[in-house]
Amino acid sequence: MSFPFAEIEKRLGYVFKNKALLEEAFTHKTYSNSFGGKHNDRLEYLGDAVLELVVTEWQYKKDEKATAGKMTSQRQKLVCQPALDSAIDALGVYGYLRYKGTEYNLKGKPKSSLFEAIVAAIYLDGGYNSAKRFIVKHGNIHIEPQTTNAIGELKEYLEKRGKPQATSSFTRTGKDNAPHFYCTLKAMGEEAEGEGKTKREATATAAVRLLWELKKKNK
């Protein structure tokens, strides 16, 4: 079966000059090991660095008074696995990932790794500014849960459309004196994840991401 270049490019909003880079970005090593060709591990590695640079530059220019410590803490939330997973879900491209066997064989972080691989592919194909435009448009770097009434905004968004309120579920890790919470919110057939030191912080992060996905889907 031929690789659906045009379909993926339409979703990404970027047309590749070197189509091989796009194909490599969507090839998991389980597929490569079975059928040959390059897989996306190296692109993932490069994309992680490009993503961090773009986010850091955005932070640096956005808030001149922010300390390095504050920016580091914020950046961790903006480039964490749930944030990148959410971005891939919003793009609707995860189903194009080529792998061998069942989804269990993917293990690790296949969605966030795919986002980083896409970033690297665009960077190599079109340069830093192209990668930056993609990240700013499709990533989650605009999310600032600590300054947003995300939970209230999500509730109001659903109420105005006559939809049921979001359902939530939580998991917890860490020691009793230093817990870390993960929240999954679901509404209108979409879901998003968030994390934080408290349930409310995790819920707020998830709410911002879910609201972003709902607005993007229902423009």
Q: Are 48 and 116 in contact (CB under 8 A)?
A: yes
The pair of structure tokens assigned to 215 is 């607005």
- Which amino acid is it at 175? K
194 DSSP β-pair partners: 183
Whether 48 is a known active-site residue: answer yes
41 exposure class (CB count in 10 Å sphere: 0-12, 13-18, 19+): middle
One of 85, 116, 190, 201 is an active-site residue; which one?
116
Dihedral over alpha carbons 201, 109, 16, 134 (to 10 degrees) = 10
One of 48, 191, 193, 213 is an active-site residue; which one?
48
H or E, element range at 33: helix 29-35
Residue 178 dihedral angles phi and psi, to the nearest 5°: -150, 65
Residue 170 dihedral angles phi and psi, to the nearest 5°: -130, 150
The strand order across the sheet containing 190-196 reads 167-175, 178-187, 190-196
Q: Would you please indicate which residues are annotated as catalytic (active-site) residues?
A: 48, 116
